[in-house]
């Protein structure tokens, strides 16, 4: 009885213990749930309601470039494109997307490298790749490299080294396309659309990819663009170039562009106008925000509408530009048929409005020989990136400097006869006898300029005796010339403008005399255009500019948008010269072109547009591409011409420069032939347009 009672009492005790334990567990659970509800409830609620925001910037086409008459010079040519935006997915997900996309498009595999193939093989064969490095090697590496990143890097290097050619050959043609696509995916930047394919994307590819975008996370179809040039290679060197989507931002300017909000694969202007006006042409990116809620539902919202870049309207007249280029090319080829022209290979022309600084034409051509054949290349930039001895065209500045320092005055007569400094004789192309300043300009007297600059320097000249000058006299002449634009930057709105070379030997008196006739320092053709414009307009040095207006973009073809900014004429300085002095030089320049003894009379007399001009012939040494073929310096003659018209009310100024025009005694007159035809073309075109307007 006692034993049975004990068993009956033991069972309820155990049950009570179990019930009590269950009670305690439930109590703990309730307390925990209450704690979570009270303390973390709001946080978990926020997590449930949380959405993922992704904002993507989409590039837009650049602004267009027009000429002064409204013709499109540079446009955007639209083309189909497929892009990928990396939203932070893992590489295996990216690879799956690439495999899917490869089913719908063909992808060029030429850019796939050996390293790309090795990486792809490792991704596709992880077990085999793991086996390429033995456990013993891994242990040794782990002991040597305690940092996990360093260890993994060393293991990876061994794997790459041990992948065989046969293993790489196992990668099929289809695998290569997948790899090429994956390569593009991986090279893009997070949250930035990256071009996967934009060359020869067919309509079929666009359609099938568009239909399957739901299974291609990050992939999109869009429209890309290329720069197109309505006038072919005309002015291409000045227009500049734009980086491709593959190039992206230039490495040398990376920090600058990133600080301004650019993405690494954005396309930017690389040179000249495209670079100089990048901020104007780049446009405003479209910003699109995609929200993904906790259920995976996506909604898209355009935050900022994209807008094509603003347009540039140039001062350049492309019809006139083409006519001038044609003239230069024909005259170069014609001159090359004459004797003594083995070094002749280039010529330059600038036409400028002397009153506003508008560059109406900036043309240059260069003859190059490739595979025994002569070709003509655009070298418009040579007008501001190369400099030469220009000869007597600077004599207007010399005379004006003589007036300024009281060395001569209007009407001063000087006897043009041989100047002899020690044993060195210097003279004009012919002995002219007593002449005044006008005749000196008209007939291009060197001696008049020599005597003038010696008086400016305060040097006491005695025939056959040494002459004393110092460095300050060189500086005085150069500073005076700079007022007219010679030897300094013109301020043109293009990069890489050169100032020319200033001779460094200031101990030789004859070098100072050479400056006075344009045969020591070198100048660019753009400087000559600014110089003659300064004299033509009465003494204002105008800043030359290629761009005339900035306009807002419009969608209608053949129409220009509203003016955003106009490039107003800018006077850089007014020369220190009396108006009557400038008028005196203007008279001398008119005599050069219209008086029988003028050096340009044969070519410019009798013209209805009544030009004024100054010619130049400079003795120089050849410094071109054939220089290395000769052991000694080769003497050449540079030809130049500055002009403006009409002489009484100038509307156009011109500078012509033909370096290394000839060697020997046969002057081919290329400067005058080009100059005459260019001025004729300008006024003939003006007349035609006036006739059409009536």
Residues annotated as catalytic are 392
Q: Which two tokens stand for residue 394?
A: 């600077």
3-state secondary structure of 553: coil
C-alpha 308/C-alpha 283 separation (Å) is 5
User: 255 is written with which tokens?
Assistant: 């920090």
Rounded to the nearest 10 degrees, the angle between the axes of helix 446-456 and helix 471-482 is 110
Q: Distance between CA atoms of 3 and 5, rounded to whole angstroms? A: 5
Q: Are 603 and 673 in contact (CB under 8 A)?
A: yes
CA distances, 505 to each of 229, 320, 512, 514, 618 (Å): 47, 42, 9, 12, 19
Helix (H) or strand (E) holding 693: helix 670-693
Across 528-680, where does the E strand assignment appear?
540-542, 547-551, 563-566, 571-574, 612-621, 635-645, 652-662
List alpha helices for 413-498, DSSP H. 437-443, 446-456, 471-482
Residue closest to 402 by CA, chosen among 432, 445, 442, 437: 437
Q: What's the Cα-to-Cα distance from 534 to each of 385, 395, 399, 412, 503, rounded to whole Å?
A: 21, 14, 14, 23, 24
Cα–Cα distance measured from residue 574 to residue 196, given in angstroms and rounded to the nearest whole number = 56
- Exposure string (b/e) for 484-505, b if CB count within 10 Å is 16 or more? bbbbbbbbbbbeebebbeebee
Which residues are registered as beta bridge partners of 658?
639
Give the CA distances from residue 129 to residues 118, 156, 160, in Å, rounded to whole numbers and listed in that order: 10, 9, 9
Closest-CA residue to 87 (of 261, 265, 218): 218
Cα–Cα distances in Å, from 54 out to 83, 95, 265, 296? Answer: 16, 21, 19, 13
Kindly state the tokens that stand for 17.
């213990």
Residue listed under structure tokens 């054939």: 626
Could you tell me the two tokens for 277? 């006006």
Report how far residue 381's alpha carbon sits from residue 8's, in angstroms, rounded to the nearest whole number.
Answer: 113
- From the list 183, 457, 237, 205, the residue with the least C-alpha distance to 346 is 237
Distance of CA 213 to the CA centre of its chain: 38
Residues in the chain: 694
> Largest Cα–Cα distance in the chain?
163
Six-digit token pair at 338? 């004459």
Distance between CA atoms of 188 and 140, rounded to whole angstroms?
36
């Amino acid at each position: 009885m006692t034993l049975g009672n004990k068993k009956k009492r033991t069972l309820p005790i155990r049950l009570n213990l179990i019930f009590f334990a269950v009670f305690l567990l439930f109590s703990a659970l309730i307390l925990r749930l209450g704690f979570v509800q009270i303390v973390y409830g709001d946080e978990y609620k926020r997590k449930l309601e949380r959405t993922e925001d992704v904002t993507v910037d989409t590039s837009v086409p650049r602004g267009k470039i027009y000429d002064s008459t409204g013709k499109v010079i540079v446009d955007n040519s639209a083309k189909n494109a497929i892009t990928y935006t990396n939203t932070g997915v893992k590489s295996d997900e990216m690879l799956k997307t690439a495999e899917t996309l490869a089913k719908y498009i063909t992808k060029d595999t030429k850019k796939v490298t050996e390293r790309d193939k090795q990486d792809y093989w490792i991704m596709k064969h992880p077990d085999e790749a793991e086996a390429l490095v033995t456990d013993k090697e891994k242990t040794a590496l782990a002991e040597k490299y305690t940092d996990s990143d360093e260890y993994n890097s060393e293991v990876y290097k061994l794997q790459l080294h041990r992948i065989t050619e046969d293993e790489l050959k196992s990668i099929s043609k289809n695998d290569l396309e997948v790899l090429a696509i994956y390569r593009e995916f991986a090279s893009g930047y997070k949250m930035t659309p990256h071009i996967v394919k934009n060359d020869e994307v067919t309509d079929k590819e666009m359609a099938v990819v568009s239909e399957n975008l739901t299974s291609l996370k990050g992939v999109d179809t869009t429209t890309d663009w290329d720069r197109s040039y309505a006038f072919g290679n005309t002015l291409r060197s000045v227009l500049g170039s734009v980086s491709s989507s593959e190039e992206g931002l230039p490495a040398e300017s990376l920090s600058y562009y990133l600080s301004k909000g650019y993405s690494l694969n954005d396309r930017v202007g690389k040179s000249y106008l495209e670079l100089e006006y990048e901020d104007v042409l780049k446009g405003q990116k479209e910003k699109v925000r995609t929200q993904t809620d906790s259920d995976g539902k996506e909604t898209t919202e355009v935050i900022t509408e994209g807008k094509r870049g603003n347009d540039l309207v140039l001062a350049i007249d492309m019809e006139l530009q083409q006519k001038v280029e044609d003239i230069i090319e024909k005259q170069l080829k014609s001159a090359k048929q004459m004797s003594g022209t083995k070094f002749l290979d280039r010529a330059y022309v600038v036409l400028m409005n002397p009153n506003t600084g508008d560059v109406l034409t900036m043309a240059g051509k260069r003859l190059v020989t490739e595979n025994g054949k002569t070709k003509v290349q655009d070298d418009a930039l040579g007008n501001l990136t190369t400099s030469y001895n220009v000869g007597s065209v600077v004599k207007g500045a010399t005379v004006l400097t003589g007036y300024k320092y009281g060395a001569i005055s209007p009407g001063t007569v000087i006897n043009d006869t041989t100047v002899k400094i020690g044993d060195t004789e210097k003279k004009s192309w012919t002995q002219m006898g007593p002449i005044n300043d006008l005749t000196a300009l008209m007939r291009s007297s060197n001696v008049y300029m020599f005597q003038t600059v010696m008086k400016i320097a305060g040097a006491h000249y005695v025939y056959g005796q040494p002459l004393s000058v110092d460095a300050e006299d060189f500086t005085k002449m150069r500073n005076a010339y700079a007022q007219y634009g010679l030897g300094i930057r013109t301020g043109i709105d293009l990069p890489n403008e050169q100032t020319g070379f200033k001779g460094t030997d200031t101990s030789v008196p004859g070098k100072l005399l050479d400056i006075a006739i344009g045969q020591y320092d070198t100048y660019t053709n753009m400087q000559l255009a600014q110089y003659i414009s300064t004299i033509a307009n009465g003494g204002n040095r105008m800043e030359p500019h290629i761009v005339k207006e900035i306009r807002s973009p419009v969608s209608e073809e053949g129409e220009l948008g509203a003016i955003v900014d106009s490039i107003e004429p800018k006077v850089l300085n007014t020369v220190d010269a009396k108006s009557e002095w400038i008028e005196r030089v203007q008279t001398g320049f008119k005599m050069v072109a219209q008086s029988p003894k003028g050096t340009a009379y044969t070519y410019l007399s009798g013209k209805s547009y009544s030009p004024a001009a100054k010619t130049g012939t400079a003795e120089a040494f050849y410094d071109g591409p054939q220089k290395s073929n000769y052991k000694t310096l080769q003497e050449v003659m540079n030809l130049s011409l500055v002009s403006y018209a009409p002489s009484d009310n100038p509307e156009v100024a011109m500078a012509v420069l033909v370096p290394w025009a000839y060697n020997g005694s046969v002057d081919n007159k290329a400067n005058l032939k080009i100059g005459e035809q260019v001025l004729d073309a300008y006024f003939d075109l003006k007349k035609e347009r006036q006739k059409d307007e009536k």
